[in-house]
């Protein structure tokens, strides 16, 4: 066996292994897509993945949303919130993270501990004080309670994430830049940020996805149906005291996964495109 | 301007947005909930001060006999969940991340494929799906029966196994730590591997000598964050059990009970007290993790 | 240094911009005369409610109504609770059986009854059930009744005659035994009602059947003793031991809170418990035909009851009380509005309207049931205070018995203790 053939067998086996394991990952999405084509009165009685009767009307029916507002509006609202949130988190969590990871200042340990503490309090008990606070700002029924906190780096998860990545970078990089007359901000913007691309991309992706999924805050702060978002729209299909529209709900669930999936697919190559630190380090 | 002052000024300038956010947006709700922890608050009447009563009730006071019994049960359920799901999820995520770091033609597609379970997040579809798999006549039992097993339980609605199905769900949604591991793997200089290959080191030795230490800041991050969020796990248990934490409170997570107490039973004061107890538990464990990490985590190749 | 100053000033500018802008941008939120109508519902309900709003707005220029709709009652109450606590509750709040727990925050409509709100047109029993301590707090949106529902297709397939509409408990048990003998393995005659999420309703029926009602608001007391509660647990233990209801781990897999968690829809059982207004939702989730039968023993004891499926209530802090009451009056009394709203929030409270005919075969079944069982019903029992907690804990105790963690005697004691605790809380 030549070396090349051996390599090919190995990679073939690897592919098979990944695909077999992948089926466990794929099963739910296949089921969901299958369910989205079943008529509502068959979804819970027809056990197979593939529908016996294909019903395309779930998509047209579902797109109508709640009749007075359609899914076009829900998608637009969700996109607005998610894009702004991702932007805010990337810009301001990275500034904060740089300070914690690289700069020396008095009170650093205490502030870091405080930042970590903000992650540990279950959100349900701050719901009402937060509501009262945002109400006093006059922000009810706007996107502000959901978006603005991101511009003030309140999501400590991302700060800590970026801190860990920045601390992983060799220090002599910024030291030599500093000696070359670079300002701290210059080092941050020109050296640190590009070198932590995978972490920054993760921040963009998770901010987007988690805001997309964050049903609870959207439920509380958005009160006019034309401000509603995709997860709110999905919940509106289900009502135990009336008729739940399962088919349309699954159809719109499938649609709601597409932006997230597309975003992930287009960003995934950056997870492995860290800039070769070795070259710079020399 | 002396150097120290200058450095402080620079640093605090970088921190300004976060500090503003902390003082304007975070501090008030946190303190407010701390105050509520010492009150009785039904949401429909103003809170009244009750001192330590909520905490006493929680840990064995007799005022609400059922109440604290369910509370203590939820502590047990949550600890079991955290200590089983977090290590399993991290190991799985790391293995898959190393797999996804290979250079294969379709690797982009594979990565997206493996991320799908996580994309589903807390969607309602998960509840339906999990029941389909783990019900008495679910997919799992059909497979087990094919290989000759009989007398199989309804996993998801049996108090002995229901928590197990939620642990599996947590592990199955391993995408976020996987992505972070994948990103972390890029930070390990390739030349380390090349050099050690030349020295004749095998894959396994490379893993322990290069990958693990190089990845240690990221492993530490994932460990701490997964622990913090596992303690606060809510959505999946809420959806799968239909908000009940059943059967027999076997999936009654701490946060789920807190939510039911606060909004369902209108005891927001008690819920706030529970929240601060949880904060304390998590903070102690996290501080411990930071302490231990001092010896195990190595930062930056230059340090 | 310049850059750093720039960042901080940028941040501060952002703060001011955002906070100043927020005040200006705040829309209809604070009081500007808009009536905020919070309800839960989906699809059809949202559409017809909007039609009613459009009609009202066209007739009353200048009045604006904003529907604040949530998908289910759970979402609705979390949102409303938060808004009320934040001093920003909606004007109209849709309520269910938990209306008693909210009576402190709801406006008494006594002052408007007979003037802005035409109460003569509404059934006496509907007015009665919305009255708490002599004050009219909620206006009924329509009527519902607890019922049993059976899967006709499944029973016919098993070759068993359909159940009679009215039975005694002895006849009912015999019928379950007959079903058991004919149904295929893995399916059961009836869902174990107590392990389902609305267990307090079924238990409530049983206590009325036995003449030991759950709660009396006037005397703030219960007639349920430990022994009385134990009888209920024993009844279902007998069913469970004989395979007439599924084993606990199967039963607990179906909370019966909606069609997706229903053992009846999944084809696991032939009979389940429902409120009549849920039938159309269940029927829409299966191709099998569903039909009603009465709870056993109702004929002799009049233990059934009619209840409003929901209430319209007014927030006592509403800034537009008069306009709000006028709008509610329109929703319940205006003939055109009635035509638009149909029986989506429960069947109309008047039997003459019901006689006029139903929109669908399923609606007709509901009307028939209400008409037939009317004479086997009596005034609704007051709800035990702290409805949600009572329900949740009762459910837990029942499960402990079903899974054999405690015996029925201990279970009965825990139920009696629970009711006492809810009353004194």
Q: So what's the pLDDT on residue A30?
A: 85
Q: Do C47 and A219 touch (CB under 8 A)?
A: no
Does residue C351 or residue A179 have the better pLDDT? A179
Of A106, A268, C394, which Cα lies nearest the Cα of B116? A268
pLDDT, tens digit, 9 for 90 and up, residues C81-119: 999 998 899 999 999 888 888 988 999 999 998 889 888
Question: Chain A contact for B11, CB < 8 A?
Answer: yes
Beta-bridge partners for C313: C93, C138
On the question of pLDDT at B302 being above 50, the answer is no
Show which subunits contact B, needing at least 3 CB pairs below 8 angstroms.
A, C
Of A261, A262, A275, A128, which Cα lies nearest the Cα of A193? A275
DSSP three-state, residue A244: coil
- Contact in structure between A92 and A150 (CB atoms under 8 Å): yes
Q: Same CATH topology for C34-143+308-349 and C146-304+378-424?
A: yes
* Residue C223 token pair: 């007639």
- Contact in structure between B122 and B239 (CB atoms under 8 Å): yes
pLDDT, tens digit, 9 for 90 and up, residues C142-158: 888 999 999 999 999 99
Q: How many CB atoms lie within 10 A of CB B303?
A: 10
Class level of CATH domain A62-281: mainly alpha
Instruction: Measure the CA–CA gap between C61 and C63, rounded to whole angstroms.
Output: 6
pLDDT, tens digit, 9 for 90 and up, residues C303-345: 999 888 889 999 999 999 999 999 999 988 888 887 788 777 8
Q: Which residues of A touch B26 (CB under 8 A)?
A: 118, 154
Q: Which residues of B touch A255 (CB under 8 A)?
A: none
Task: Tell me the domain boundaries of chain A.
Answer: 62-281
Instruction: Measure the CA–CA gap between C328 and C136, rounded to whole angstroms.
Output: 13
Average model confidence (pLDDT) across chain C: 86
On the question of pLDDT at A282 being above 80, the answer is no
Q: Which residues of A touch C310 (CB under 8 A)?
A: 241
- Contact in structure between C121 and C352 (CB atoms under 8 Å): no
Selected for mutation to probe chain C from B68, B128, B141, B266 (highest C CB count within 10 Å) is: B266
Largest CA distance in chain A: 75
Average model confidence (pLDDT) across chain B: 88
Would you put residue A188 in left (φ > 0), alpha (ψ -120 to 50) or beta? Answer: alpha
Q: So what's the pLDDT on residue C258?
A: 77
The Cα of A243 is separated from the nearest Cα of chain B by a number of Å equal to: 16
Query: Which chain B residue is nearest to residue C405, measuring alpha carbons?
Result: B248
DSSP string for residues in A130-196 = HHHHHHHTT-TTSSHHHHGGGGGT--HHHHHHHHHHHHTS-THHHHHHHHTT--HHHIIIIIIHHHT
Phi, psi (deg, nearest 5) at residue C377: -125, 155
Does residue B61 or residue C226 have the better pLDDT? C226
Does residue C124 or residue B87 have the better pLDDT? B87
Q: So what's the pLDDT on residue C59?
A: 93
Q: Which residues of B touch A204 (CB under 8 A)?
A: none
Query: Which chain C residue is nearest to residue B129, measuring alpha carbons?
Result: C260
Largest CA distance in chain C: 89
Query: Which chain A residue is nearest to residue C86, measuring alpha carbons?
Result: A132
pLDDT, tens digit, 9 for 90 and up, residues B207-264: 998 899 989 999 999 999 999 999 999 988 888 888 888 789 999 999 999 999 999 8
Query: Which chain B residue is nearest to residue A260, measuring alpha carbons?
Result: B119
Question: Chain A contact for B298, CB < 8 A?
Answer: no
Q: What residues 22-51 of chain C have any CB closer than 8 A to a CB of chain A?
A: 22-23, 25-30, 36, 40-47, 50
Burial class (CB in 10 A: 0-12, 13-18, 19+), B9: middle
Q: How far is CA B88 from the centre of its chain?
A: 12
Sign of CA dihedral B186, B188, B194, B199: negative
Instruction: Measure the CA–CA gap between A199 and C194, rounded to whole angstroms.
Output: 51
Q: What is the rounded average pLDDT of the residues C229-233?
A: 94
Q: Do C66 and A223 touch (CB under 8 A)?
A: yes
Structural domains for chain B? 37-296 (1.10.3720.10)
Q: Which residues of C touch A41 (CB under 8 A)?
A: 284-287
- Contact in structure between C113 and C328 (CB atoms under 8 Å): no
- Contact in structure between C305 and C125 (CB atoms under 8 Å): no
Q: What is the rounded average pLDDT of the residues C206-218?
A: 91
| ipTM summary value | 0.90
Average model confidence (pLDDT) across chain A: 86
Sign of CA dihedral C185, C186, C191, C194: positive
Q: So what's the pLDDT on residue C2?
A: 55
Interface B-C, measured as beta-carbon pairs within 8 A, has a size of 110
CATH (residue range C34-143+308-349): 3.40.190.10
Task: Tell me the domain boundaries of chain C.
Answer: 34-143+308-349, 146-304+378-424
Instruction: Measure the CA–CA gap between C286 and B135, rounded to whole angstroms.
Output: 19
Would you put residue C63 in left (φ > 0), alpha (ψ -120 to 50) or beta? Answer: beta
Largest CA distance in chain B: 80
Report whether CATH 3.40.190.10 matches the domain C146-304+378-424: yes
Q: So what's the pLDDT on residue C17?
A: 56
The Cα of C262 is separated from the nearest Cα of chain A by a number of Å equal to: 9
DSSP three-state, residue B241: coil
pLDDT band at residue A9 under the 50/70/90 scheme: confident
Please calculate the CA angle B272-B277-B280 and round it to the nearest 5 degrees. 130
pLDDT band at residue A240 under the 50/70/90 scheme: low
Q: What is the rounded average pLDDT of the residues A257-279?
A: 75
Instruction: Measure the CA–CA gap between B62 and C350, rounded to whole angstroms.
Output: 49
The Cα of B152 is separated from the nearest Cα of chain C by a number of Å equal to: 11
Of C191, C233, C245, which Cα lies nearest the Cα of C405? C233
Q: So what's the pLDDT on residue A278?
A: 42
Instruction: Measure the CA–CA gap between C37 and B38, rounded to whole angstroms.
Output: 34
Phi, psi (deg, nearest 5) at residue C132: -120, 125
Of C339, C344, C149, which Cα lies nearest the Cα of A242? C344
Q: What residues 259-278 of chain C have any CB closer than 8 A to a CB of chain A?
A: 259-260, 262, 265-267, 275, 277-278
Q: What residues 191-250 of chain A have any CB closer than 8 A to a CB of chain B?
A: 198-199, 201-202, 205-206, 209, 213, 215, 234-235, 238, 249-250
Q: Which residues of A touch C43 (CB under 8 A)?
A: 66-67, 236-237, 239, 242-243, 245
Show which subunits contact C, needing at least 3 CB pairs below 8 angstroms.
A, B
């Amino acid at each position: 066996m030549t070396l090349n053939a051996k390599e090919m067998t190995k990679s073939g086996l690897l592919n098979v292994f990944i695909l077999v394991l992948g089926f466990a990952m794929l099963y739910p999405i296949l089921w969901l897509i299958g369910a989205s084509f079943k008529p509502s009165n068959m979804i819970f009685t027809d056990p197979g993945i593939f529908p016996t009767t294909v019903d395309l009307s779930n998509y047209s029916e579902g797109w109508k949303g709640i009749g007075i507002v359609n899914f076009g509006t829900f998608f637009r609202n969700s996109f607005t919130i998610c894009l702004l949130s991702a932007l805010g988190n990337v810009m301001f969590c990275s500034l904060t993270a740089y300070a914690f990871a690289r700069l020396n200042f008095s009170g650093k340990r205490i502030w870091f501990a405080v930042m970590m503490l903000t992650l540990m309090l279950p959100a349900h008990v701050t719901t009402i004080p937060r509501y009262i606070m945002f109400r006093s700002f006059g922000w009810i029924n706007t996107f502000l309670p959901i978006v603005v906190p991101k511009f003030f780096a309140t999501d400590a998860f991302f700060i800590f994430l970026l801190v860990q990545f920045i601390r992983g970078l060799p220090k002599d990089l910024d030291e030599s830049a500093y000696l070359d007359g670079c300002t701290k901000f210059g080092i941050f913007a020109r050296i640190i940020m590009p070198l932590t691309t995978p972490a920054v991309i993760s921040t963009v992706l998770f901010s987007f996805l988690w805001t997309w999924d964050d049903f609870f805050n959207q439920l509380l702060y958005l009160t006019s149906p034309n401000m509603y978002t995709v997860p709110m729209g999905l919940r509106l299909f289900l009502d135990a005291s009336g008729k739940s529209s399962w088919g349309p709900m699954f159809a719109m669930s499938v649609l709601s996964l597409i932006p997230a999936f597309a975003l992930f697919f287009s960003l995934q190559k950056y997870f492995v495109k860290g800039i070769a630190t070795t070259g710079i380090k020399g | 301007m002396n150097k120290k002052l200058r450095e402080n000024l620079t640093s605090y300038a970088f921190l300004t947005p976060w500090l503003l956010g902390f003082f304007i947006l975070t501090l008030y709700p946190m303190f407010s909930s701390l105050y509520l922890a010492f009150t009785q608050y039904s949401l429909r009447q103003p809170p009244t001060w009750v001192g330590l009563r909520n905490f006493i009730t929680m840990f064995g006071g007799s005022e609400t006999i059922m109440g604290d019994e369910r509370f203590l049960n939820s502590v047990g359920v949550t600890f079991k969940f955290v200590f089983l799901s977090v290590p399993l999820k991290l190991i799985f995520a790391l293995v898959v991340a190393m797999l996804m770091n290979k250079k294969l033609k379709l690797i982009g597609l594979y990565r997206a494929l493996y991320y799908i379970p996580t994309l589903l997040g807390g969607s309602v579809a998960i509840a339906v799906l999990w029941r389909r798999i783990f019900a008495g006549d679910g997919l799992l039992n059909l497979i087990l029966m094919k290989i000759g097993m009989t007398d199989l339980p309804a996993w998801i609605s049996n108090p002995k196994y229901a928590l197990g199905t939620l642990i599996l769900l947590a592990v199955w949604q391993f995408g976020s730590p996987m992505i972070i591991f994948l990103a972390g793997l890029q930070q390990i200089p390739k030349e380390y591997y090349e050099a050690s290959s030349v020295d004749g080191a095998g894959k396994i030795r490379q893993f322990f000598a290069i990958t693990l230490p190089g990845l240690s800041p990221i492993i530490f991050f994932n460990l701490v964050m997964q622990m913090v969020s596992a303690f606060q796990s809510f959505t999946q248990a809420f959806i799968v059990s239909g908000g009940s934490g059943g059967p027999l409170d076997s999936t009654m997570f701490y946060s789920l009970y807190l939510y039911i107490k606060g909004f369902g039973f209108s005891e927001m004061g008690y819920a706030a007290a529970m929240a601060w107890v949880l904060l304390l538990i998590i903070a102690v464990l996290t501080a411990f993790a930071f302490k231990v990490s001092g010896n195990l985590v190595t930062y930056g190749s230059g340090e | 240094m310049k850059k750093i100053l720039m960042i901080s000033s940028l941040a501060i500018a952002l703060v001011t911009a955002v906070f100043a802008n927020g005040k200006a941008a705040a829309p209809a939120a604070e009081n500007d005369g808009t009536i905020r109508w919070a309800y839960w519902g989906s699809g059809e309900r949202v559409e017809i409610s909007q039609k009613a709003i459009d009609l009202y707005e066209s007739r009353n220029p200048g009045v604006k109504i904003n529907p604040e709709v949530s998908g289910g009652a759970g979402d609705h109450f979390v949102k409303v609770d938060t808004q009320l606590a934040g001093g920003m509750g909606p004007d109209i709040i849709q309520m269910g059986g938990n209306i008693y727990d909210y009576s402190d925050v709801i406006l008494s409509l006594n002052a408007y009854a007979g003037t802005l709100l035409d109460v003569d047109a509404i059934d006496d029993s509907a007015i009665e059930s919305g009255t708490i301590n002599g004050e009219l707090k909620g206006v009924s949106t329509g009527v519902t009744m607890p019922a049993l529902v059976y899967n006709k297709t499944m029973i016919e397939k098993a070759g068993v005659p359909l159940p009679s509409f009215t039975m005694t408990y002895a006849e009912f048990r015999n019928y379950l035994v007959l079903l058991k003998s004919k149904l295929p393995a893995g399916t059961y005659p009836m869902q174990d009602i107590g392990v389902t999420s609305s267990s307090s309703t079924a238990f409530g029926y049983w206590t009325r059947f036995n003449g030991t009602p759950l709660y009396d608001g006037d005397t703030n007391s219960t007639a349920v003793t430990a022994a009385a509660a134990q009888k209920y647990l024993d009844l279902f233990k007998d069913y469970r031991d004989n395979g007439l209801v599924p084993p606990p781990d199967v039963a607990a897999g179906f909370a019966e809170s909606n069609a997706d968690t229903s053992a009846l829809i999944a084809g696991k059982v032939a009979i389940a418990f429902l409120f009549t207004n849920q039938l159309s939702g269940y029927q829409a989730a299966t191709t099998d035909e569903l039909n009603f039968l009465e709870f056993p023993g109702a004929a002799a004891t009049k233990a059934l009851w009619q209840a409003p499926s929901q209430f319209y209530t007014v927030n006592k802090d509403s800034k537009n009380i008069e306009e709000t009451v006028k709008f509610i009056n329109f929703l319940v009394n205006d003939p055109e509005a009635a035509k638009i709203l149909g029986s989506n929030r429960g069947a109309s409270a008047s039997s003459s309207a019901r006689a006029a005919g139903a929109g669908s075969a399923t609606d007709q079944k509901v009307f028939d049931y209400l008409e037939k069982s009317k004479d086997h019903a009596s005034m609704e029992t007051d709800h035990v205070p702290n409805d949600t907690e009572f329900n949740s804990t009762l459910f837990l105790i029942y499960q402990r018995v079903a899974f054999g963690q405690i015996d029925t005697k201990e279970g009965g004691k825990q139920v009696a203790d629970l009711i006492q605790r809810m009353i004194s809380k």
